Amino acid sequence: MERINFWLNVFFATLFAAFFLFAWSSALKEGETCVNDKSCDSGLQCETCTENVTVPPRCIRIRPHNPLHKVSGLPFNRYSWLTTHNSFARMAHKSDTGAVLLAPMNQQDSVTVQLENGVRGLMLDMYDFEDDIWLCHSFHGRCFNYTAFQPAINVLKEVQAFLEANPTDIVTIIIEDYVTSQSGLTRIFKASGLGKFWFPVSRMPSNGTNWPTVDSMIEDNQRLVVFTTKSSKEASEGIAYVWRYFVENQYGSDGMKNGSCPNRAESASMNTSSRSLVLLNHFPDTPDLTEACKHNSAPLITMMNTCHDAAGKRWPNFISVDFYKRSDGEGPPAAVDFANGQLVCGCNNINSCRPKMTFGDCNTLEGSPAPAPTIEASTSTTTAAGRGFKRSFADSGSGQRLQFGWLMGTGLIIFSSSITGFITI
């Protein structure tokens, strides 16, 4: 009996160690060379920014840090949120009409997955279609079977489920609004169950003053902030007219020209202080999955700096991109972490912010965890890519050695403790 116990212990100790070896080696850390998304830790994705086969893919971070988990209690306009441009236009999506979609695709995953990955701003194009309101990518304000993705209510229900399951999260929807049917938007928001989370226009500051605090929004369960591009709907349906509250730079390729940050035509100029929210668009006219990796890396950080200067030294509250998961490792999540660091506590990374700290008193923690973007130095694409590349190799080499040593240690400890257990029994 005791012999069996001993061998059982040895067996389980070995099994346990083997399990750890497997689990550990299959969850690669940020910056390590990888073969596919599954080999990376959660919140990471295996990416490469170049078609150069000698440059191996690395695990890169796809989720920004939740700033509310670091410091809560500030006005809504003191935070920055990862935002997806045309959030609904998902690759490989087939039109719910059954038609083959001939519309551009801007994102890789569903709105539910986007929300799970920390996306908190959704840009949705809505059209009257088929006696309903559809998410559509179209022209001349009309939707067609081959440009229609799905009824908007489906995606609103995804947002509803997320807000229901995450009672301390706030989501913003910006509607590119082609809906002319009477109270059409009101109807689908109500039908989706999102009505109860509605943040009312009456609480939005229209003169550039601070928004209510995130805490009060959460406490009052007013955690859905919705904007429309149709000004009349603010009075008729209580949906905020986006450019009464936002300044926003030029979207598309014209907005990606290095060194300048013009406002989009409908927006007041970037430095207008009577708008308390700043939105940064950074995506080309035609979505491009391959190029997005580059666009979402150093040039995004550079444009964020350029727009900061243009916007009267204000960091963006919303950073809007295509294919938000694509970057060389210092992409949209790093940009959002940086903007949050600046907005929340005056530091280069939200990780440096602590409750009740003095604004700008960053010294000790600054830049210690891996991905703090070296913003000053990242104006050139090649420098940033080169830096990331070198770091990946440095990290993966020593990382693997460290892991191995750690594992041997763990295995031995488990093994010896099971022997000890056997002896004392």
Ligand X SMILES: *[C@@H]1O[C@H](CO)[C@@H](O)[C@H](O)[C@H]1NC(C)=O
Binding site for ligand X (CB under 6 A): 52, 54-55, 97, 99, 130, 145, 205-207, 209, 258-259, 269, 271, 302, 379-381
Structure tokens at 297: 């890396």
* CA pair distance 333, 143, nearest whole angstrom: 33
Q: How many residues does the chain have?
A: 425
Q: CB of 80: closest distance to ligand X in angstroms?
A: 21
Closer residue to ligand X in complex, CB, 192/302: 302
| Minimum distance from residue 270 beta carbon to ligand X (Å) | 6
Minimum CB distance to ligand X, residue 60 (Å): 17
Of the two residues 368 and 380, which places its CB atom closer to ligand X in the complex? Answer: 380
- The C-alpha atoms of residue 5 and residue 66 are separated, in whole angstroms, by 48
Of the two residues 121 and 299, which places its CB atom closer to ligand X in the complex? 299
Nearest to ligand X of 24, 393 (CB atom): 393
User: What is the sign of the dihedral through the CA atoms of 375, 381, 383 and 385?
Assistant: positive
Q: Of 231 and 260, which CB lies nearer to ligand X in the complex structure?
A: 260
- Nearest distance in Å: CB 130, ligand X: 5
Q: How far is the CB of 255 from ligand X (least distance, A)?
A: 14
Phi, psi of 316 (to 5 degrees): -70, 140
Encoding tokens for residue 156? Answer: 């609103």
Q: How far is the CB of 111 from ligand X (least distance, A)?
A: 21
Q: Which residue, 57 or 64, is less far from ligand X as judged by CB?
A: 57
Alpha carbons 146 and 99: distance in angstroms, whole number: 5
Residue 237 CB, nearest distance to ligand X (Å)? 20
* Cβ-based nearer residue to ligand X, 162 or 389: 389
Which residues have a Cβ under 8 Å from the Cβ of 277 and sit 6 or more positions away? 77, 211, 245, 246, 247, 317, 318
Q: Which is nearer to ligand X, 166 or 206 (CB)?
A: 206
Determine the distance from the C-alpha atom of residue 103 to the mean position of all C-alpha atoms in its chain, rounded to a whole number: 23
In 10 A of CB 186, how many CB atoms? 15
Cβ proximity to ligand X: between 13 and 280 the closer is 280
Is residue 124 within 8 A of residue 149, CB to CB? The reply is: no
Closest separation between CB of residue 203 and ligand X, Å? 8
- Backbone φ and ψ for 227, nearest 5 degrees, come out as -130, 150
Closest to ligand X by CB, 231 or 379: 379
Least gap, CB of 165 to ligand X (angstroms): 30
